[in-house]
Amino acid sequence: MIFRAASYVAIAAIIVAVAVVLNRDGAREDVRLGVDPTQSRDRGPHQHDFLDPRCECDPEAEIKQAIADRQDYSSTHTDLGKGFYARGRYDVAKSCYERALELEETNYQARYGLALTHIRLGDLVAARQELQRAVEANRKFLPAYISLAVLDYADGDYGMAKERLQGALRIEPSNPHAKKLLNSLPKVQRYADANSG
Amino acid sequence: MTKGTAAIVLALLLTLILSPCSGKAYLQGDRVIVDGQGNTLESVARDIADPEVFSFDRDRNAALANRNLTVRGTLLIGSDKSADSSLSPFQILEMNISRCGAVRIEVAASPGEVGELHLNRAKLVTLHETDDQCKDPNLLIVRGKLVAQDSEISGNIECVIEPGAFVEMVSSSVSYTQNGALSCELGPGQHVRIRDSSFIDNANYGVRIGSCPEPLELRDCAFRGLSADVYNAGGGELVLTDCDFQTVKFASLSGKVRRKWSVTVEVPGSGLHVVARSEKGNPQHEIVRGVTDENGVCELVLTEYVAFPPKAQEFREGLNNATPHEIIVYDRDEKTLLYKVDNFHVFMKHQRLTFR
């Protein structure tokens, strides 16, 4: 009986020893995986073509230079905002536009940029407010009218969208964007009341 | 010793062997290996016990790694999920390897052993991120499991998802990369769930999709790349719902990028049937159905367009469009027509359609 128990313990001890060795010696895993972590990833033959159109300029450095050169100009901050917006850095773009508006409250381009940034960040209420202020700052600033119409469209208020677009076309009758949006407004038809409540 | 006692001893030993190992990090060659469970940046620094290799600064809540990392066990960077993570400060891992494109953080996987990297309010950065002469990417290679929440990966670290990896990424970002922000090589049945995240590259692509046997859907994400925001390299289907991108490129003559938007339809009545159908004459056609909930709300996810090569490279408005849609609301009997909207275009996030 004792011999049998001792043999169980011995077997268990061997298992423990083997487990410890396997656990400690990480090199074995690489052998199993066939992985060389120092080697760079294979990127495929088409990758070189894809790399060709790469731009070598450094917009970040240019932006920093611009900030250093003309720190107090509202228009500079607006331009910076546009740059960051185009590159998808909406939080930074928002800060730039806000700084531009701190320096010049009537900068309607900055208001418009800030509104578009709010749209990208999903805050349509704030976007609408900024667009309305942009229109107040410049009554003939068509992009703000059209963006307000787009927000009305997105909100399902097609009557208001139509009104705004017609207003925009009174300012610039040949504006293609306004014309196209006006033609693309949905047509709602009501047939019967719902039986459910 | 009785037979029973021996069995108990054996069972105890086996339990000891089979139970999850506690965390342990060690240096192997030029890499720090993180093994076992429950590792944190602080515990890794403690295990390594060599500030020249890996150190942790408790005041800054930041670790400095002078060697590459391989995660074979679990590593948590950031706060524990049980805490109110929105209030906790970011925890930072700084990779201090100056050679261009030499940073490797690998979440390993092998049969029976899956490495797990958990990022929860974490920042993963390279200290040499501003070296614009370096176009070779540093890589976060995920073969095991990556769970990221409210975290930032920046400084030219491309996130590479490999076949078999499990990825959950929410409210996180990969940015300042020089070769691509997110790259996916997927296998069948793979779990990749990425939501509300941004992938911003300075030189090439925001997201690159290689092999992809099943459609991969990414939601609420932003992609930017100088060459293309979205790059379909492998011919699979990428479904981008409520995502922000402008340009799409393909490497071959196969593959699709489907752009979709969620639309909230509000109708006065619950249990009503809503059917959205691409209008006749659209190059792409779809029918999407839904039922209003107790608040009379039904969310539909509708396709704006399907980009496919070679025309996507010269993408024009109207090409491959599935919108405009006609949206029809039927009563509960699915026959009585209540409302109909023609010429409904989907084109942006948060669109609503309200019937009063």
The string of pLDDT tens digits covering residues A110-145 is: 999 999 999 999 899 999 999 999 999 999 999 999
First to last CA, chain B: 83
pLDDT band, very low/low/confident/very high, at A26 (cuts 50, 70, 90):
very low
Report the predicted TM-score, pTM, of the whole model to 2 decimal places.
Answer: 0.79
Mean pLDDT value across residues B121-144: 81
Phi-psi label, residue A25: left if phi above 0, alpha if psi -120 to 50, beta otherwise: beta
Among A1, A8, A194, the residue with its CB nearest the CB of B268 is A194
Least confident residue range of A34-43, A58-67, B122-131, B280-289: A34-43
d(CA B290, CA B325): 14
d(CA B47, CA B215): 42
Q: Which amino acid is at B205?
A: Y
Least confident residue range of A17-21, A109-113, B274-278, B342-346: A17-21
Residue B105 has pLDDT above 70, yes or no: yes
- CB spacing of B72 vs A29 below 8 angstroms: yes
Using a CB–CB cutoff of 8 Å, tell me whether B72 touches chain A. yes
- Please give the structure tokens belonging to residue B332: 């509960």
Residues 115-144 of A with CB under 8 A from B: 119-120, 122, 124
Suggest the residue from A25, A29, A39, A152 to mutate for an interface test with chain B (most B CBs closer than 10 A): A29
Residue A28 has pLDDT above 90, yes or no: no
For position A37, what pLDDT does the model report?
26
- CB spacing of A196 vs B271 below 8 angstroms: yes
* Residue B224 Cα, gap to closest chain A Cα (Å): 6
Give the three-class secondary structure for B169. Answer: strand
Residues 6+ apart with CB under 8 A from B89: B61, B121
Residues counted in chain B: 356
For position B179, what pLDDT does the model report?
84
Using a CB–CB cutoff of 8 Å, tell me whether B26 touches chain A. yes
Residues counted in chain A: 197
pLDDT band, very low/low/confident/very high, at B297 (cuts 50, 70, 90):
very high
Of B93 and B13, more confident: B93
* Nearest-10 Cα torsion for A11, A13, A17, A20: 120
- Which residue(s) pair with B260 in the sheet? B241, B303
d(CA B178, CA B201): 6
pLDDT band, very low/low/confident/very high, at B207 (cuts 50, 70, 90):
very high
B224 membership: H or E segment, kind and range: strand B222-224
* Residue A118 Cα, gap to closest chain B Cα (Å): 12
Residues 6+ apart with CB under 8 A from A94: A81, A114, A117, A118, A121
Mean pLDDT value across residues B25-53: 94
Which of A95, A150, A99, A151 is closest to A126 using CA atoms? A151
Q: Which residues of chain B make contact with A27, given a CB cutoff of 8 A? A: 28
Mean pLDDT value across residues A61-89: 75
Residue B323 has pLDDT above 70, yes or no: yes
Q: Which residues of chain A make contact with B26, given a CB cutoff of 8 A? A: 26
How many CB pairs lie under 8 A apart between chains A and B?
Answer: 179
Residue A20 has pLDDT above 60, yes or no: no
For position A2, what pLDDT does the model report?
62
- CB spacing of B354 vs A156 below 8 angstroms: yes
d(CA A149, CA A163): 8
Q: Which amino acid is at A50?
A: F
Which residue has 């930041």 as its token pair? B62
pLDDT band, very low/low/confident/very high, at A6 (cuts 50, 70, 90):
low
Q: Which residues of chain A make contact with B262, given a CB cutoff of 8 A? A: none
Strands in B104-107's sheet, in edge-to-edge order, are B24-28, B31-35, B68-71, B104-107, B138-142, B157-161, B182-184, B205-209, B228-232, B248-250
d(CA B350, CA B356): 19
Q: Are A160 and B305 in contact (CB under 8 A)?
A: no
For position B332, what pLDDT does the model report?
94
Closest residue in B to A117 (Cα–Cα): B244
ipTM of the complex: 0.78
- Please give the structure tokens belonging to residue A177: 């964007």
Mean pLDDT value across residues B182-210: 92
Closest residue in B to A124 (Cα–Cα): B350
B298 membership: H or E segment, kind and range: strand B297-307
Burial readout B266-300 (b: 16 or more C-beta within 10 A, e: otherwise): ebbbbebbbbbbbbeebebebebebebeeebbbeb
Using a CB–CB cutoff of 8 Å, tell me whether B299 touches chain A. no
Which of A116, A126, A128 is closest to A161 using CA atoms? A128
Residue B264 has pLDDT above 90, yes or no: yes
d(CA B21, CA B354): 57
For position A14, what pLDDT does the model report?
63
Residue A30 has pLDDT above 50, yes or no: no
- Which residue(s) pair with B65 in the sheet? B54, B95
For position B18, what pLDDT does the model report?
45
d(CA B241, CA A12): 55
Burial of A196 (0-12, 13-18, 19+ CB in 10 A): middle
pLDDT band, very low/low/confident/very high, at B162 (cuts 50, 70, 90):
very high
- CB spacing of B338 vs A193 below 8 angstroms: yes
For position B111, what pLDDT does the model report?
83
d(CA B244, CA B240): 9
Using a CB–CB cutoff of 8 Å, tell me whether B170 touches chain A. no
pLDDT band, very low/low/confident/very high, at A58 (cuts 50, 70, 90):
very low
Backbone angles phi, psi at B153, to 5 degrees: -115, 120
For position B55, what pLDDT does the model report?
96
* Residue A167 Cα, gap to closest chain B Cα (Å): 22
Give the three-class secondary structure for A143. Answer: helix
* pLDDT, averaged across chain B: 88
Among A1, A89, A188, the residue with its CB nearest the CB of B1 is A1
Q: Which residues of chain B make contact with A47, given a CB cutoff of 8 A? A: 233
- Please give the structure tokens belonging to residue A171: 């300012």
Residue A4 has pLDDT above 70, yes or no: no
For position B304, what pLDDT does the model report?
93
For position A87, what pLDDT does the model report?
84
Residue A43 has pLDDT above 80, yes or no: no
For chain A, how long is the longest CA-to-CA vector? 104
DSSP letters, B11-42, are HHHHHHHHSPPBPEEEEETTEEEEESBSEEHH
Q: How big is the CA angle at A65 (ends A63 and A69), to the nearest 5 degrees?
A: 120
Q: How big is the CA angle at B224 (ends B190 and A80), to the nearest 5 degrees?
A: 155
